[in-house]
Structure 1
Amino acid sequence: MTQATTGTETPQIADDTALFATMATMRAMRRLRPEPVPDELLERLIQAAVWGPSGGNMQRYEYVVVTDPAVMAELAPLWTRCVDAYLATTGKHAPEGMDEAAYGRMVAAIEYQRDHFAETPALVIPCYQFPPSRVDGEGLRASVAALGPTAAAALASTQERFAALAEGSCVYPGVQNLLLAARGLGLAANITIWHLMLEDEWKAALGIPDDMRTFAAIPIGWPLGRFGPVRRRPVAEVLHRNRW
């Protein structure tokens, strides 16, 4: 474990073996066994999510956890519609830079999950919404002064995107914690946002308030396949030091 230093001591690097092994084998796992996941494990996943950072420490997140087979069966047709809409836009062949065989395996896994969604043991829906703005006229003027009029005008034109990213930044770190925790516990999971194509219908089916935003639909269960290793671009291809 890294120890605090006085400025003259050499920092000690933490033992990262287990953590990095977990991340290196955390594939999107879409083929799930139908056996239920114990409630205590699901609560541990939500605890991991809650430990994620929250903008302004507001902690405005909520998590809907579905385990009732009857509810899952009700959601299955919505899932099918969303998946079919997604697959209709992805094309018949792999995108540039992706192996055709790997692309075919991914599509097959998505179709398998679609066809067996009603058997999904657990589904987590992370939700979030900022409270009403507390910025008054004085605060707004100070903000414009800090940014400058040109940058402030540009921000105003992209406020919807800024707000969506701000809320997402309060949700997705927790979601990543949940996915890592699932992998650490031997559970399969994958993050999707396809439900947003029919978000109002999903919210109605789950009783989620109209003014609450949903940010993902995460199926969870015991894996049918094997974990990892993941295949990603080499660090040397994506790393830009100091400048692009």
Structure 2
Amino acid sequence: MTFETVQADASAFDGPALFATMATMRAMRRLKPDAVPDETLDQLIQAAVWGPSGGNMQCYEYVVVTDREVMARLAPLWKRCVDAYLATTGRHAPDGMDDAAYGRMVAAIEYQRDHFADTPALVIPCYRFPEPRFDEEGLGVYAEALGPAGLEHMTDTRTRFQALAEGSCVYPGVQNLLLAARALGLAANITIWHLMLEREWKEALGIPADTHTFAAVPVGWPQGNFGPVRRRPVADVVHGNHW
């Protein structure tokens, strides 16, 4: 797939403050080693908690790592995951992406990998979705509502539904956290590379085996400057009324 990206429209800066925040929320991977105050990290988690939660169940938990010794123990895990990720993406930009921009992104990822032990804070969003409750009456309503096609694919549908249901309860909060970080002048970026070694990460952080992790978000004060993001034009991604 080939596509062009454009810099965020300057008109965004004339609208609500939130629009300007979103339009300049680059993934910032080069962090200063300076500590982030606990009260500031609490603000980020508060923003995350304000995110929507399916059924308002609020079954999320957040592991916030600030201890340098713990971060140093996590650094080798991070390196293994990043190296595996980079091995699958290659050193050259995908079709349609600017080679120079792609190279800068890879360089930033490698910098973060090599300086991970100096990361001021790391946030791990977690969620444990309750088991679905199906009784005979509920199964009957399910079958009537969806018909034979729904029953035929019931197992696959439930598996996919539960995975997406968990994610939909977590990722809005993560986006709130990223927006709050940008508004407070902090650099942050969402990653899921840790999932390649999720068991080891959970063991290192004491996360229960039956609790899923959904991201690893490094947070700190940026070395560089925020600036307009480059994204595909709206007209290229909208399908009016049908595909």
Is the shorter-chain TM-score for this pair beyond 0.5, marking a shared fold?
yes
Deviates more, 1:63-72 or 1:153-162: 153-162
Q: Deviations over 1:125-180 (max 9, x none)?
A: 00001112222121012112101111232242243222111100000000000000
Match of 2:220 in 1: 221
1:50-69 correspondence runs (5 A): 50-69=49-68
Provide the residue aligned with 1:209 in structure 2: 208
Q: Aligned runs of 1:47-196 on 2, under 5 Å? A: 47-196=46-195
CA offset at residue 16 of structure 1?
A: 4.1
Q: Structure 2 counterpart of 1:93, which letter?
A: H
Query: Which letter maps to 1:110?
Result: I
CA distance in structure 2 between the partners assigned to 1:207 and 1:241 by the alignment: 47
- Inter-partner Cα distance in structure 1 for 2:20 and 2:27: 15
Corresponding residue number in structure 1 for 2:36: 37
Percent pairwise identity: 77
For this pair of structures, how many residues does the alignment match?
230
Matched, 1:18 2:14: no
Look up the equivalent residue of 2:186 and give its one-letter code. L
Letter matched to residue 172 of structure 2: P
d(CA) in 2 for partners of 1:29, 1:155: 41
CA positional deviation for 1:243: 1.2
Structure 2 counterpart SS, 1:34: coil
Q: Take 2:213 and 2:143, find their aligned partners in 1: how far apart are those partners?
A: 31
Q: 2:137 and 2:148 mapped to 1: Cα distance?
A: 15
In 2: Cα distance, 1:155 partner to 1:100 partner: 44
DSSP-derived class of the 1:220 partner:
strand
Unaligned runs of at least 5 residues, structure 2: 1-13
Q: Matched residues in 1 for 2:224 and 2:154: separation?
A: 46
1:39 Cα deviation after fit? 0.3
Q: TM-score, normalised by structure 1?
A: 0.92
Quote the Cα distance in structure 1 between the aligned partners of 2:28 and 2:154: 38
Find the aligned partners of 2:217 and 2:159 in 1 and give their Cα distance. Answer: 25
Distance 1:16 1:136, change over 3 A: farther
SS at 1:148's partner residue?
A: helix
The superposition leaves residues 202-229 of structure 1 with CA deviations (integer Å, 9 ceiling, x where unpaired) of 0000000011000000000000011121
Gaps of 5+ in 1: 1-14
TM-score under structure 2 length normalisation = 0.92
**Paired position in structure 1 for 2:5:** none
Shift of 1:51: 0.3
Question: RMSD of the TM alignment (CA)?
Answer: 1.1
Match of 1:231 in 2: 230
Q: Give 4+ residue runs of structure 1 displaced > 3 Å after superposition.
A: none
